[in-house]
Amino acid sequence: MKRSVGDKIIDAIIVFFMVLVIIAMLYPMWNTLAVSFNDARDSIKGGIYLWPRKWSLYNYQSVFKTEKVFNAFLISVARTVISTILNVFFSGLLAYVLSHKDFVLRRFTTVFMIMTMYINAGLIPQYFLYRNLGINNTFWVYILPGMVGAFNVIVIRTYINSLPASLSESAKIDGATEMKIYFNIIFPLCLPVLATVALWVAVGAWNDWFTSYIFAPKQSLSTLQYEMMKIISSSMQQGAAQTPDYLQQSQSQQSSMVTPNSLRAAMTIVATVPILIVYPFLQKYFVTVNIGSVKE
Amino acid sequence: MTTNIATSRATIPAKPKQSFFSQAKKQKELVLITIPYIIYFFIFNYLPLWGLTMAFQNYKPYRTFWEQEWVGFKHFQKLFSDPAFYRVLRNTLAMSFINLVLGFVTAIAFALLINEIPKQLYGFKRVVQTISYMPHFLSWIIVCGLVSNILSMDDGIINNLLLATGLVKEKIHFLGKPEYFWWIVGFTNVWKSMGWNSIIYLAAITSIDPCLYEAAAIDGYGRFGRMWHITLPGIKSTIIVLLIMNAGWILNAGFEIQYILGSNGLVLDVSETIDIYVLKKGFAGTAGSGFAFGTAAGMFKTVCSAAILITCNKISSWLGEERLV
């Protein structure tokens, strides 16, 4: 089709608008990146927008040298990896079980599971449950409550139902157990949808600070996001009475080298980059799944 | 020949109605896998419901369940007579409404515009899409940090731009002024989720028959005419279903952004939502004196929310579209 001059003008306007959107989406992170690589004393003067004026890796060094932050980083990684593996495995297994149309407990289990998406006892009963289970202030509070997700199970089950049933049936005739079929046939075939669910779970686990705040406030169990939360809410409060002690320390000991603002910028990058790196690897899968769920 | 068929039909018995137990025995492995899940859901999702009894008690942590004093609806009466409760309800509904409307309009408009990027610029289109998804992966903590940087009084880019262009005479303390707060939350939501939410509309657009566009072009419709008369009607059902389903979450205006951006204490009148109210009341006081009241407030929210959600899902399934489940 020939494009008229009017069409080309509209194209140009659209492209211009999209460039504005890109700038608006990228600028806040880009600016933080520039500040994090800029010398802290120099940043105080202001005017750092797109590029560091005086390069320095000192902000990152002091982030990782602070034992609390490094420990929080390890806890964040551990809980994210473990939750993701467990949730994907257990949600997938239940999805496979529920994909058997003639399974006697199918209806009951499905309703019992879907109900959990609507009912929610609320924060305080939840707090009591965890206390009675003895998982408050332990690493388990990050893992146990999120081992299966009802929504994830439904998404995976829909995908399994779209696979040809003959695959698992022939394996069953050959005498394979259900677990074997799940591991050797269903699991590999479901990789696209499992990758999608893995991304959902990983993003949720990595970005969660509320669990630490309410259920595991112990310093040794703190996560990166929770440390970020402490820093940001203390910088929001003018008095800065609750400045985490390592910031005060760094202020007094090396006052000339690091400022809370620069440290915060470096920590923002450290708390963001790992989850952003995961995303491109999984991207090709989940666009197809999203389209699939629309047509469903 | 005919008799043959007749007899063979007769010999194939109608599938015998197997008893529950004989069938369960055959599916022993499946049953064994399922039981731990049922126990798991029971413990983590159903057992805490028992804690809702607290809402009707004068709960004291050191007493056993049998020693608790029952007070009926006292906590609910207190809740409904608390002016602060109506304030947080207003804030929740207002921010939900702003988020809903702004979120929908921007995501749909963005999807329409992405769809209009000419085919020769395919690479550019991919870049725009990928970048627009990025904020979805940031945590609310990080986003709040970025927002407070951007709007900061010292060296925040927005204030600097406004000053440089002469739109304002002096810097504005955006995060300290109650009149801006809802809109800051609204536009932050747009920033974070516009790209991500546009995915579903783009998917719906791809299923529109291309012949319609050609026919419209022959009929003399321009770019915007085609957008208005073909693309929008083509994704209308997706829009309506998503709108109804999202309306079901009206009592969940969010928690994190209001909690963190409101932590400077200057805008609490407009920033606190029901969730923050539950948190603050529930863990207020010493030795768990707020637990019962917090539970009552949380229960009010859960019950209303579930009722709204189920109604909305019913409406959307009644409209003939796929529900959430």
Both structure tokens of B40: 């798991």
Is it the case that residue A296 has pLDDT exceeding 80? no
Q: State whether B33 and A97 contact (CB < 8 Å).
A: yes
| Interface contact A49, partner B, CB < 8 A | yes
Q: Report, as an integer, the average pLDDT of A21-31.
A: 93
Contact between chains at A31 and B299 (C-beta distance less than 8 A) = no
Report the residue of B139, B192, B207, B264 to disrupt the A interface, i.e. the one with the largest count of A CBs within 10 Å: B139
**pLDDT for B319:** 73
Q: B297 vs chain A: nearest CA distance in angstroms?
A: 9
Query: What ipTM, to 2 d.p.?
Result: 0.86
> Which residues 77-106 of A have a C-beta within 8 angstroms of B?
90, 93-94, 97, 100, 102-105
Handedness of CA A57, A58, A64, A68 (dihedral sign): negative
At A282, the pLDDT band (50, 70, 90 cuts) reads confident
Report, as ranges of residue numbers, the positions in chain B whose pLDDT lies below 50.
1-10, 323-325
B148 and A232 in contact by Cβ < 8 A?
A: yes
A positions 241-260 inside 8 Å of B (CB):
none
The pTM score is 0.86
Angstrom distances, CA of residue A181 to CA of A92, A97, A170? 12, 11, 10
On average, the pLDDT of chain A sits at: 85
List helix spans (H) across chain A: 5-36, 40-43, 58-65, 67-98, 106-118, 123-133, 140-143, 150-161, 166-173, 178-181, 187-189, 191-207, 210-215, 224-236, 245-253, 260-295
The per-residue pLDDT for B9 is 47
Q: How many CB atoms lie within 10 A of CB A56?
A: 20
Tens digits of per-residue pLDDT, A134-148? Answer: 999 999 999 999 999
Q: Which residues contact A107 (CB under 8 A, 6 or more apart)?
A: none
Nearest chain A residue to B49 by CA distance is A121
pLDDT digits (tens, 9 = 90+) for A40-72: 888 888 788 888 888 888 888 888 888 889 999
d(CA A32, CA A20): 19
Q: Are B48 and A145 in contact (CB under 8 A)?
A: no
The DSSP-derived string for B51-63 is GGGGGGEE--TTS
B261 and B184 in contact (C-beta within 8 Å)? yes
Do B298 and A124 count as a contact with CB atoms less than 8 A apart?
yes
Using an 8 Å CB-CB cutoff, list chain A residues near B264.
Answer: 236-238
Quick one: how far is CA A38 from the chain centroid? 28
Residue A274 burial (C-beta neighbours within 10 Å; 0-12, 13-18, 19+) = middle
By C-alpha distance, which of B185, B158, B188 is closest to B173? Answer: B158
Identify the H or E element spanning B69. Answer: strand B69-70
* pLDDT value for A121: 82
pLDDT at B64: 80
Angle at A46 between CA A43 and CA A49, to 5 degrees: 90
CA distance A282 to A199: 7
CB B27 within 8 A of CB A103: yes
With CB atoms and an 8 Å threshold, state whether A105 touches B264.
no
Which of B40, B132, B265 shows the shortest C-beta gap to A25? B132
Q: pLDDT-derived band of residue A260, with 50, 70 and 90 as boundaries?
A: confident
Measure in Å the smallest separation between the Cα of A254 and chain B Cα atoms: 23
Query: What is the rounded average pLDDT of the residues A265-286?
Result: 84
A6 in helix, strand or coil? helix
**Tokens representing B117?**
């990027």
CA atoms of B69 and B71, how far apart (whole Å): 6
Question: What percentage of residues in chain A have a pLDDT greater than 90?
Answer: 44
Chain B residue numbers touching A47 (CB-CB < 8 A): 155
- The burial of B120, by beta-carbon neighbours within 10 Å (0-12 exposed, 13-18 middle, 19 or more buried), is given as exposed
Angle at A83 between CA A82 and CA A89, to 5 degrees: 95
Span A96-140, pLDDT tens digits: 999 988 899 999 999 999 889 888 888 889 998 999 999 999 999
CB-based contact A100 B30, cutoff 8 Å: yes
Q: Decide: A166 and A40 in contact? Cβ < 8 Å.
A: no
Q: State how far the alpha carbon of A170 is from the alpha carbons of A155, A167, A181, A185, B26, in Å.
A: 24, 6, 10, 11, 17
- Phi-psi region at A164: left, alpha or beta (left = phi > 0; alpha = psi -120 to 50): beta
Name the 3-class secondary structure at A222: coil
3-state secondary structure of A156: helix
Q: What is the model's pLDDT at position B223?
A: 83
Q: Look at residues A122, A119, A120, A141 and name the one whose alpha carbon lies nearest to residue A132.
A: A141
Is the Cβ pair B260, A290 closer than 8 Å? no
Locate the chain B residue with the closest alpha carbon to A90. B37
Mean pLDDT of A152-168: 87
Cβ contact A123–B207 (<8 Å): no
With CB atoms and an 8 Å threshold, state whether B301 touches A122. yes
